[in-house]
Amino acid sequence: MSQENFSINLRIICDQQISVAHICRKMEINRQQFNKYLSGQIYPSKYNLNTICQYFQLSEEQLNLKSSEFRQIIPKSLESESNPEKSELEKIIDSMPSHSKDLSRYEGYYYSHFHALGFPGYIIRSLIHIYQYENKFYSTSIEHLWDKENGDTHRNRFKYKGAVFYLGDRIFITEVETLTNNVIHHTILCPSYRNIVDSLSGVSMGVGSRNSHMPAATRVEFLYLGKQINIREVLGGCGLFKLNTKLVDSNIIARINNEINDPEYILRAYDT
């Protein structure tokens, strides 16, 4: 099979898409790596080749045909991908002001602390990254659901990807769990009024990670870690922690307490 044919055909179908960046995000393939496939510098690994084939609904043999033959078998489904009809919801989201100036000061990595919806009596510390791409803001979150203080060996890991908005002096984050695609979380945070962002308080709503998937809301506290971190080291600090843990700051534990005063009747974020 010709590596040259592959790169030519890959460029042909990519030209019919929204953008190469869009393709790489959808397939979760590194953009620089994908550019090497397009230029013919290297041939994809077996794993990435399988990802590319599944995304474009083509076999490896088809992607290595002569370009004249390849043009005859391009799936019709790819033609609509280059200019997809947007849903009403997508149009509404696109019409929202980006407020990139307001959100840019919140770019970086955070520890997120909140009561575990599926593990009563435990706090979750997860890692969330807020970042900007093409004038819009996104988030990636990772949860490690195991009790490392007590040597828990049963490990559950969840990964979320979301969109971030700054509207009405509040930060909105809507995330989808990408490994199972059956959970959506919504978080609303109060902005920081300090010169340096060190923490953010808010309320998060979602469902428990266990079978019941009972809807629930909880206070949440973000602790700023910086724009550049040692990912492996920071992930080592994520996990489940009992309420009396010494590994989570007592002030954070106090700020995510979900008690409601009688006159309030509703769960409110701490806006201080």
The enclosing domain of 226 has a CATH number of: 2.40.128.120
Q: What is the pLDDT of residue 87?
A: 56
Residues 19 and 105 in one domain: no
**94 part of a folded domain:** no
Quick check: 56 pLDDT over 80? yes
The total number of structural domains that make up the chain: 2
209, 101 Cβ separation under 8 angstroms: no
Report helix angle 31-39 to 46-56, nearest 10. Answer: 80
- In this structure, is residue 203 part of a structural domain? yes
Q: Do 125 and 183 fall within a single domain?
A: yes
Q: What is the pTM of this model?
A: 0.65
Q: Are 155 and 243 contained in the same domain?
A: yes
The pLDDT of 53-71, averaged and rounded, is 88
State the Cα angle at 117 between 111 and 120, rounded to 5°.
105
Domain hosting residue 72, numbered range:
3-85
Euclidean distance between CA atoms 113 and 126, whole angstroms: 7
pLDDT-wise least confident of 15-24, 52-61, 138-147, 181-190: 15-24
Separation CA 208–CA 135 (nearest Å): 33
Q: Are residues 169 and 243 in the same domain?
A: yes
pLDDT above 70 (res 48) = yes
Q: Which residue blocks in 15-76 are alpha helix, DSSP H?
A: 20-27, 31-39, 46-56, 60-63, 67-70
| Cα separation, 117 vs 270, whole angstroms | 20
Residue 167's pLDDT is 87
More confident residue, 112 or 98: 112
Domain match, 109 and 240 both: yes
Region 35-39: mean pLDDT is 91
Burial 73-99 (b: 16+ CB within 10 A, else e): ebeeebeebeeeeeeeeeeeeeeeeee
Lowest-pLDDT range, 9-18, 65-74, 125-134, 208-217? 208-217
If asked whether residues 106 and 219 sit together in one domain, one would say yes
- Token code pair at residue 157: 């890991």
The verdict on residue 268 lying in a domain is no
- The Cα 59–Cα 92 span in angstroms is 37
Is residue 2 over pLDDT 90? no
Would residue 267 count as lying in a domain? no
Residues 202 and 244 in one domain: yes
pLDDT, residue 232, reads 86
